[in-house]
Amino acid sequence: MPVVDLDRFDFLYARRVRGLRSSAARDLMAMLSRPGIISLAGGFPDTSAFGSEALKRIAAAVADDSARALQYGPTGGLEEIKDIIMDVMAAEGTPARQEDVFLTTGAQQGLDLIGRVFLDEGDAVICEAPTYVGALNAFSSYRPRILHVPMDRHGMDVAAAAEAIQRARRQKVAVKFIYTVPNFQNPAGVTLSGERRRQLLELAREHDLIIVEDNPYGVLRFDGEAPPTISSLEQASGELERVVYLGTFSKIFAPGVRLGWVHAQQGILHKVNVGKQAADLCSSNLSQMLIVAYFRSGEWRGYIRRLLKVYRERRDAMLDALAEFMPEEVYWTHPDGGFFVWVTLPEYLDATAMLPQAIQRNIAYVPGEGFYADGAGKNCMRLNFSFVEPEKIRRGIELLSEVIKERMEF
């Protein structure tokens, strides 16, 4: 095969993708299927826990209604699945009405549609620092300015968010929404406190902004009390106005079905609907019916309890190993749930530059840089604990700490 000139059609590509390249770190990720590598890099749920027997059973139930399963469906989803979504949201104390739920092809599509609906080029979005890389990717198609706001162990610093909004306003930049992953944030593993959630809602009210509450991990809590969702706080005050809640079946069931949802007020959903018609007409009926067949019986609650047990054990294995092996100058977050731990190395270390050496030693992670739009986070990394067995996590952290110590001796 001849070598492909990646820039050959640069004069035809849209400005927004011209010069875009997959990052060096991402290319290294392609090597992660090599046998022997312990990858703490993915963000995968453990789908093996579901089992083929259960899948066969629900697939057989769906096959009984094959013509419908194989057909196009309504853009916003089948009614039955909206009832299931209301149950799932209720499990987190968030009220939902069927007409305020809109089905998407994963929460990822929700992020893209929100970008499409709200962002003109140059508009600003308030994001945590670091933030979910898939949100940065989805929003970047619409060429916004990303205003990163620092976090501490209680989540986004709301006073800093207020300053960022005021600064943007002074520069005549339109701030459109605040994007937050409030529970066990991807990538930092941090949870936004109840107090901050209230303050953030107040801030959005004060400046008449939308809040995008992206909550894929909320029910995956191992310890402590869940603070109320921002959507439930808004609804408790008698309105559903500015909080757009994104949910997904990826972490509580399977990413393979590619189904998520947007819960928002009618005006926003109307625009989202128009966007989804252009994007993919509708999500898969087949996937929706699989979910309905499984979730209708309520069995999913037991399944989540099983998942929690597995993930808690893995989280504990990771935190124990970090405490045992990491040098003193390294610190990390202590998530109460979800999938991720965020590790901060001494400032002079570069986690991206270190990755090839780590992979050579059979351990992989995601360098922190990709979770920022502004090149920050070089001395940080994201570690995933949901997908790897506890013994391998321990060995992986031991290997990683050796690589870090070697770098520190330079």
The contact set with ligand PMP (CB under 6 A) reads 43, 106-108, 132, 134, 181, 186, 214, 216, 248, 250, 255, 260
Residue 255 C-beta: closest distance to ligand PMP, Å: 5
Which tokens belong to 246?
């994104």
Residue 338 C-beta: closest distance to ligand PMP, Å: 9
Which tokens belong to 386?
């949901």
**Long-range contacts of residues 110-113, Cβ cutoff 8 Å, at least 24 apart:** 110/214, 110/246, 110/260, 110/261, 110/262, 110/272, 111/135, 111/138, 111/139, 111/212, 111/214, 111/246, 112/138, 112/141, 112/279, 113/262, 113/272, 113/275, 113/276, 113/279
* Residue (138 or 233) nearer to ligand PMP, CB: 138
* Residue (220 or 363) nearer to ligand PMP, CB: 220
Contact 146, 164 (CB under 8 A): no
* Residue (216 or 227) nearer to ligand PMP, CB: 216
In the three-class reduction of DSSP (H, G, I as helix; E, B as strand; rest coil), residue 109 is classed as: helix
Residue 191 C-beta: closest distance to ligand PMP, Å: 13
* Residue (181 or 292) nearer to ligand PMP, CB: 181
Contact 205, 175 (CB under 8 A): no
* Residue (144 or 338) nearer to ligand PMP, CB: 338
Which single residue brings its beta carbon nearest to ligand PMP? Answer: 106
* Residue (216 or 228) nearer to ligand PMP, CB: 216
Residue 284 C-beta: closest distance to ligand PMP, Å: 13
Residue 136 C-beta: closest distance to ligand PMP, Å: 11
Residue 217 C-beta: closest distance to ligand PMP, Å: 7
